[in-house]
Structure 1
């Protein structure tokens, strides 16, 4: 029951000017109720939650490095400036990182909000990627030819290693070292070279080929070489010195 109806029911009549007062009072009450209801409704967030953004980046990186070759990946997302103000993204964030080899280390994740509230930024992160890599099981000298007993596989943070670490021990077997290695030092492809298959003074088989015709004879290597190297060879029959390309152990193809 309104205040004016209550007063009228008690006195039987309204005083002069009470009608206008009652109408104004009713309008004020309606305005108050509408304003109260508006204040009670929670405001829609207008800014991007930076903690959630960092959580999304971490989840993305964990998925990016979840491959069989990686035994473990530890992701640390850098902090963002608390003064950063971004509009709340209504669409899922688009994330990308420039690390196709998945070697980890310090990197940045390109984080983009598509749609009408478009924005983009780079989020810093650090990923420690642990893989099994080949390391020297003992000290090895320059020119040493790698055998299975020279290597052991250990779990290492590859982000702290130089590129070219060996993850397949078989790929290093039979190769020679360009420089000495200490025990426990990772074996890198850049330190390996093909083995010498022809030594100076070796008897080698010389092959000369032109078209469909090939001629084989024996010769003496005047220098050492690896597969693909060009060396000087003396033809034992003609005593002529020729140049040839090493094609395998004890085998040289004459360059015509």
Structure 2
């Protein structure tokens, strides 16, 4: 039985896994361009395997040339910087309140961010909206 399976295994197509690597060293908060990443024909566990959707993302930490890129290394470009004054939106049941707040961190669209309401000094978490406001759920 084994002698019949061996030729089938030898004829089976080999699977090639690809991994995304940095082509140059990039500092944190660098926006990824088309020449910054490349695919190599090797498999690295936990690393990204496709370039789809990576152009335009921002590095979350320093990336070094020739090193594989992991999912936590990249994120959406920051819309809000730490200590920036932003609009904080409370929207519940038809009531909408907009207040000024100070960002206590840095983040991009869809990320959760801690902010301090400037009038009440209350610290709350909110979600960054595409227009740069922070909405409290």
Shift of 1:231: 1.2
Residue among 83, 101, 123 paired with 1:201: 83
TM-score, normalisation: structure 2? 0.73
Structure 1 gap segments, 5+ residues each:
1-47, 63-72, 74-103, 105-128
Q: Find the aligned partners of 1:154 and 1:222 in 2 and give their Cα distance.
A: 37
Q: Find the aligned partners of 2:71 and 2:56 in 1 and give their Cα distance.
A: 11
Quickly say closer, same or farther: Cα 1:191–1:152, change in 2 above 3 A. closer
Structure showing greater radius of gyration is: 1
SS in 2 for 1:197: strand
Q: CA RMSD in A?
A: 2.7
Shift of 1:223: 0.9
Matches within 5 A, 1:26-175: 48=1, 50=3, 52-59=4-11, 61-62=12-13, 73=14, 129-131=16-18, 133-141=19-27, 143-149=28-34, 151-158=36-43, 161-171=44-54, 173-175=56-58
SS in 1 for 2:89: strand
Shift of 1:56: 1.3
Quickly say closer, same or farther: Cα 1:49–1:207, change in 2 above 3 A. closer
Structure 2 gap segments, 5+ residues each:
none
SS in 2 for 1:241: coil
Q: Find the aligned partners of 1:162 and 1:150 in 2 and give their Cα distance.
A: 23
Number of equivalenced pairs: 133
Q: Which has the higher helix share?
A: 1
Shift of 1:150: 5.2
Shift of 1:138: 0.7
Q: Find the aligned partners of 2:106 and 2:96 in 1 and give their Cα distance.
A: 23
Where relative contact order (Cα < 8 A, 6+ residues apart) is larger, the structure is 2
Q: Find the aligned partners of 1:151 and 1:169 in 2 and give their Cα distance.
A: 13
Report Cα offsets for 1:185-243 as digits up to 9, x if no partner.
222213334444322331211211121221223x13141132432413233xxx21232
